[in-house]
Chain A
Amino acid sequence: MSRRRRTLSLYAVFILALLIPLIDRNQAHLSFWTDAATFVMLALGLNIVVGFAGLLDLGYAAFFAIGSYSYAMLASTQFGIHIPFWAMLFLAAAIAATFGILLGAPTLRLRGDYLAIVTLGFGEIVPQTFLNLSQYTNGPNGIGPLDPPYFPGVDFSASSVPYYYVALGLIIITLWVSNNVRSSRIGRAWMAIREDELAARHMGINTTFTKLAAFGMGASFSGIAGVAYSAKLNLVSPDQFQFSVSVLILSMLVLGGMGNLKGVVIGSLLLSFVNNFFLPQASTLLHYDLTNYRLAIYGFILMGIMLFRPQGLIGSKSTEKLAESIVHPDQLGAESAEGSVN
């Protein structure tokens, strides 16, 4: 696709996304679109860590939990603190990024699979801690109601529409940031350490700083998504952040294509659609509860895509090499040895 056609189709998608609340006035559908938008954001955040920097994070929901609980504690009657929603977006990003860096710092020396297990452990510890500290978090009951966002002339309690536009705005910002950071100095450094950490270090890349930046930035997206999600839901409880949520986000990434922004967006929309729209609708039609098969669906996506199409559904010829290098660097190395220099 030429550059101009790409820009045009991007605008078309954007305008369509803006019009969705006018076309589809069903409140349940709008709520679905809003939640789907949150998961697009989460997937874009995880894409920075996994897709760009090649660090497998299996506890990504922990940062989602940290963002959500930050909002719940700092913008509700829980402690009588009422920080505005818009300020909390920045604050939660900062808090989540801090935790991301704190987790990242001691794990920098670890090999990829050990790193994955450490993040998994962290992802279990965080929601369990929120559950156990019941004097601050109400334990399993969660915290709610939360302060609605304030914007002059907009009633956030009437429908999901304002939340939808908030989430859409956040996606556009995260997409813009992701796209720009990818081609920036740090983005190229991420890809360099993903391909070959040792070589990257010898080319003068500060791997410590580079990895921490990936953890921090990925976590901050998740923190922001947590604020937007919990404000809309008006409740935060520890069971929203189980391991299956981290795996769901990873499945979105793998389905669309790791490291490929278009793929990540489409993968997460597709899986949200299957998860929250298709399965419940089909279950009512068939009088048989298909939602019980969710975990197996994530499982088959992870297994099937990794085995048969590692570049993901959207991965095209141009992104194929890029994605394969995450999955099959041996082949890539063999190809580039034959003299293809990009």
Chain B
Amino acid sequence: MEVIAQQVVNGISLGAIYALIALGYTMVYGIIELINFAHGDVYTLGSFFALAILSLLGVTDVLHGWPLVGAIVLASLGAMILCGITGVLIERIAYRRLRHAPRLAPLITAIGVSFILNNIMQLWKGPSPVNFPALIPNTSFQLGAISISNKQIIVVVLAVLMMLALHYFVHNTKMGKAMRATAQDRDAAQLMGININTTIAVTFLIGSALAGAAGFVSGVYYGSTWFANGFAAGLKAFTAAVLGGIGNIAGAMLGGFLIGLIESLTTQFISDQWSNVVVFSVLVLVLVFRPSGLLGESLPEKV
């Protein structure tokens, strides 16, 4: 029982990272019906940007007090801004021209972008995993037989906060309203005076910034990063987005936590090497049997 509870804790913190990535997939799919295949690589790029900022600051190990807060703020904001810009550029260069082409054309360019980013990161930091500074002193709390580390708490709290902020943005701001309108009917939204290009660019900006935040968090959480991380993580996060109901923010969060749980429980009870197979099987099964996802029908609203 304790083992299960411990894996649930691990799965939730793992799932928080997937959820952050899944938000980007779900927003972009909600607004232009494109599986942004490069999104997983933008996430990895986030950890690389954060790492570069930390090494610029000269941070190599655990920090305390104000320097710790400063390093976290600079690294996470920097990664978010740089990833956001990357996302906007990707949309401008690779997707905008194909907005009226059928779905498969931008999907193929998205795979192309993903491979280009992947290659850039491989050349940047080399083909092996690289260390990420621990940053936060490692302490853990005992809850009966379960141990929860402070990093796990931070990951989950951060993810939930960002989701709430996103929810607020989408439902209570003018730009959020424009996004929802564009998602529902692009032509009608344009006739109502909404600038479609700006709205779609903002969607990419936010989605990619969240991926950048996820990249920073995962770097701190795992203590390392790797140029090829984005492929599996991206696919899992996409699974999460579909599982929750694509286009649905709360669904992406729910799906992320579920995928995290499935992965950590598989690791515990079957084995580490089967966890990808199990998660991808879930992907195939969900797409085949319930493509609308868990929350897809009860909450049909998009973005």
Contacts and interface: CB of A to CB of B under 8 A. Distances in A.
Q: Which of A111, A117, A293, A294 has the most CB of B within 10 A?
A: A117
Question: By DSSP majority rule, is chain A's interface helix, strand, loop, or mixed?
Answer: helix
B101 A295 contact: no
Given A121-B283, A132-B277, A302 B109 contact: yes
B285 to A, nearest CB: 9
Contacts of B101: 310, 327-328, 330
Interface stretch (A1-9, A24-32, A35-43, A122-130): A122-130
B190 to A, nearest CB: 17
A11 B161 CA distance: 68
B100 to A, nearest CB: 6
Interface residues of B, number: 43
- Assign chain A's interface to a size class: 35 or more
A118 B113 contact: no
B111 to A, nearest CB: 6
Contacts, number: 134
Contacts of B103: 111-113
A46 interface: no
Given A298-B115, A299-B112, A306-B105, A114 B122 contact: no
A301 B112 contact: yes
B216 interface: no
B5 interface: no
Given A112-B102, A114-B291, A296-B120, A303 B280 contact: no
Given A113-B104, A114-B287, A243-B231, A132 B273 contact: yes
B108 A254 contact: yes
Interface of B: 33-35, 94, 97-98, 100-109, 111-116, 118-120, 122-123, 231, 235, 238, 242, 273-274, 276-277, 280-281, 283-284, 287-289, 291
19 contacts: A56-B107, A56-B108, A107-B287, A113-B103, A114-B287, A117-B35, A121-B283, A124-B276, A125-B280, A132-B273, A132-B274, A247-B115, A295-B115, A296-B116, A299-B118, A303-B113, A306-B112, A327-B104, A327-B105
